[in-house]
Amino acid sequence: MIKQLNAAPDHAKLVAWVNEWAELCEPEAIYWCDGTNTEYYGLCDEMVKSGLAVRLNSKLRPDCVLFKSDPSDVARVEARTYIASEKKEDAGPTNNWIDPVELKKEMRALYKGCMHGRTMYVIPYSMGPVGSNIAKIGVEITDSAYVVINMHVMTRVGNAVLDVLGKDGEFVPCIHSVGKPLENGASDNGIWPCAPMDKKYIAQFPETREIWSFGSGYGGNAILGKKCLALRIATVQARDEGWMAEHMLILKLTNPEGKVKYVTGAFPSACGKTNLAMLIPTLPGWKVETIGDDIAWMKFGKDGRLYAINPENGFFGVAPGTSMHSNKNAMLSCAKETIFTNCALRENGDIWWEGIEVPLEPGEKLIDWKGNVWEQGQVDADGNKVKAAHPNARFSARAKNCPAIASNWEDPNGVPIDAFLFGGRRPSTLPLVYQSMSWEHGVFIGSTVGSEVTAAALDVKAGTVRRDPFAMLPFCGYNMGDYFQHWLDIGKVEGAKLPKIFCVNWFRKTADGRWLWPGFGENSRVLKWIFERCDGEGKAVETPIGFMPTTDAIDRSGIENEVTDADIAELLTFDKEGWKNELAMIKEHYKKFDRLPKALADQLAQLEERLAK
């Protein structure tokens, strides 16, 4: 007999679905999550008691817990992530595919009895403000209390969601298990439960809009509202329903006169998306406020503009490299009520990571993310520096604790978007900023987004560019060529008043490897030009790649010594030879797509013509 820890809601389809999974997974008990603080802190206490989590010093880091995962379970596993569409072509050349019937058979065998000795938590959640017409409801079944508390932070959980669902409302069913049954009263003994790599599956079924996840407890593999629902499944819904689900930050930009523009941006990972969303402008009188740092859902309003909501409720941020200098607002967001994963633990009961820019006491000993004693400067047997925190260590912080969060960030109608930014780390060729010549040209720019990977840190020239169209490569739930077509179709919607499209690159270097642009808060100077361009102002010259600012169009007041006339000229030159090489790389990149829209092939041909002139 499975214990029922509390009453099930009055929604026959939902209850039947939960019972069906309980029968297969055979948990010890079923618990319906209500989203309260009592539930959240109760689960935290349980996990601290069982040794899965450490409570941090309540004076330094109030209401915070630290988890360390299994060393094999530290990030999203793209090789084990599947788009199980009925037809392989519909998943496309950039996604892993297995026949859905076969995959379900295989996974059902794994789920059989997988929750022995565990509680099955049922989490009703909303992506987006509860009740917003842009929001969507999901229900996640999981056997991980760690997932429950993370869903509390990252989504809106509980009874308010059930109220919106009513007796027969629609939801995206999401099933998750860590894949580690506890037999005969065994316990985890403080060890992060997960399954071996060849048993892990992160499966999306686009036609039936289901998510099945097995074997991992970490991040996007397990917190299913985020990448699985809000991107992979939502992209499919957005295509069918005429809206957009994008891997984009959303920021609110206010000029000294109090005029507001909303900007979204797509960047591949490790390009500073969270930093841009929480930027502190160095330009006097300018203000940046955060709406979201990872995902944007956009729908047309009656006025033809695209309105965006942030479907999330928190930030699942990369910890290493985050400091009061690189991102003060992120540091303050995780000052309290935060879940830390795979960070290091200090003697004083606070967290620590590489790049936090908080000095340690002389000789201070930390507990590293693997649970070992760690000292600064420690090297392994091969002479490599041992890291205290895992490079993908995370903080799960509440959006409401971010000092830069915009007062209207939860507006159920969303905010009207003025500009889309695309960018990556490009030490050469790509200028600091340029604007597309048309919507279609902007879609072309989005489809070619890339970031340079340097073999060695000092090796500037030998970098190859890893292309990540719209920063969506691991997150698009259908054929990428069809996704490009969806972007083109959005541009043809009657009466649409579309955002302007820009490409930015904060990462230009000189030939001898010096950064040309200071980045961080100084990026507000580029945002200022973008703001002006949205109003039909801001000086620009037309070049073969698009509209580029004139060298005096970027406000350098106060940084003329840091970014000299020569620097800004280099940042804003059209590099004809570099672009010929770029064109060849884009041609190669485009060969990957089996359903490349003709309009994008035309854009490529037109760029080639303009470069040849």
Amino acid residing at 165: L
With binding defined as CB under 6 A, does residue 320 bind ligand SAT?
Answer: no
Answer with the entry of ligand SAT, Mn ion, none that 532 interacts with (C-beta below 5 to 8 A by kind): none
With binding defined as CB under 6 A, does residue 316 bind ligand SAT?
Answer: yes
Span from 80-88, 122-130, 218-226, 431-439 in contact with ligand SAT (CB under 6 A): 218-226
Tokens 């596993």 identify what position?
77
**Residue 123 in contact with residue 136, Cβ under 8 Å?**
no
- Name the residue number minimizing CB distance to ligand SAT: 220
Minimum separation from the CB atom of position 317 to Mn ion (A): 10
Virtual torsion, Cα 450, 455, 457, 459, nearest 10 deg = -90
Minimum separation from the CB atom of position 217 to ligand SAT (A): 11
Rounded CA separation 288/275 (Å): 11
478-517 residues in contact with ligand SAT (CB under 6 A) are none
Answer with the entry of Mn ion, ligand SAT, none that 282 interacts with (C-beta below 5 to 8 A by kind): none
Q: Identify the CA nearest to 148 among candidates 65, 43, 22, 51.
A: 43
With binding defined as CB under 6 A, does residue 273 bind ligand SAT?
Answer: no
Q: Is the CB of 220 or the CB of 469 nearer to ligand SAT?
A: 220
Answer with the entry of ligand SAT, Mn ion, none that 413 interacts with (C-beta below 5 to 8 A by kind): none
With binding defined as CB under 6 A, does residue 219 bind ligand SAT?
Answer: yes
Minimum separation from the CB atom of position 8 to ligand SAT (A): 29
Among 11, 104, 118, 227, binds ligand SAT (CB under 6 A): 227
Q: Is the CB of 206 or the CB of 220 nearer to ligand SAT?
A: 220
Binding mask 293-332 for Mn ion (x = CB under 5 A): -x--------------------------------------
Minimum separation from the CB atom of position 76 to ligand SAT (A): 5
Minimum separation from the CB atom of position 165 to ligand SAT (A): 25
Minimum separation from the CB atom of position 247 to ligand SAT (A): 8
Span from 219-227, 326-334, 498-506, 547-555 in contact with ligand SAT (CB under 6 A): 219-227
With binding defined as CB under 6 A, does residue 265 bind ligand SAT?
Answer: no
61-90 residues in contact with ligand SAT (CB under 6 A) are 76
Span from 68-76, 291-299, 436-444, 543-551 in contact with Mn ion (CB under 5 A): 291-299
With binding defined as CB under 5 A, does residue 452 bind Mn ion?
Answer: no
Q: Is the CB of 342 or the CB of 485 nearer to ligand SAT?
A: 342
Q: Is the CB of 342 or the CB of 524 nearer to ligand SAT?
A: 342
Kind plus residue range of the DSSP H or E element containing 340: strand 339-341
Q: Identify the CA nearest to 69 among candidates 226, 193, 239, 209.
A: 193
| Active site residues per annotation | 271
Please tell me what DSSP assigns to residue 499.
P
Size of the site for ligand SAT (CB under 6 A): 7
| Residues in CB range of 492: below 8 A, 6 or more apart | none
User: CA 456: distance to chain centroid?
Assistant: 26
Among 138, 206, 217, 220, binds ligand SAT (CB under 6 A): 220
SS3 track for 356-399: CCCCCCCCCCEECCCCCEECCCCECCCCCECCCCCCCCEEEEEH
| Residues in CB range of 154: below 8 A, 6 or more apart | 223, 225, 226, 312, 313, 314, 316, 396
Minimum separation from the CB atom of position 227 to ligand SAT (A): 4
274-278, long-range: CB within 8 Å, 24+ apart, which pairs? 274/249, 274/315, 274/317, 274/318, 274/322, 274/327, 274/330, 275/326, 275/327, 275/330, 275/520, 276/249, 276/251, 276/523, 277/249, 277/250, 277/251, 278/327, 278/328, 278/329, 278/330, 278/333, 278/402, 278/404
> How many beta carbons lie within 10 A of that of residue 47, not counting itself?
22
Rounded CA separation 450/485 (Å): 19
Answer with the entry of Mn ion, ligand SAT, none that 217 interacts with (C-beta below 5 to 8 A by kind): none
Minimum separation from the CB atom of position 495 to ligand SAT (A): 35
Tokens 């037309």 identify what position?
542
To 10 degrees, what angle do helices 145-154 and 37-49 make? 140
Answer with the entry of Mn ion, ligand SAT, none that 593 interacts with (C-beta below 5 to 8 A by kind): none
Minimum separation from the CB atom of position 226 to ligand SAT (A): 5
Minimum separation from the CB atom of position 197 to ligand SAT (A): 16
Rounded CA separation 313/158 (Å): 13
Tell me the two tokens of residue 315.
């930030």
With binding defined as CB under 6 A, does residue 226 bind ligand SAT?
Answer: yes
With binding defined as CB under 6 A, does residue 176 bind ligand SAT?
Answer: no
Amino acid residing at 294: D
Span from 158-166, 220-228, 506-514, 588-596 in contact with ligand SAT (CB under 6 A): 220-228
User: CA 43: distance to chain centroid?
Assistant: 26
Q: Is the CB of 471 or the CB of 516 nearer to Mn ion?
A: 471
Q: Is the CB of 294 or the CB of 440 nearer to Mn ion?
A: 294
- Report the SS3 class of residue 566: helix
Rounded CA separation 364/356 (Å): 16
Rounded CA separation 563/282 (Å): 14
First to last CA, the chain: 77
> Is beta strand 287-292 parallel, antiparallel or unpaired with respect to 433-435?
unpaired
**Residue 397 in contact with residue 334, Cβ under 8 Å?**
yes
Binding mask 94-133 for ligand SAT (x = CB under 6 A): ----------------------------------------
Q: Is the CB of 39 or the CB of 73 nearer to ligand SAT?
A: 73
Contact residues: ligand SAT, CB under 6 A: 76, 219-220, 226-227, 269, 316
Contact residues: Mn ion, CB under 5 A: 294
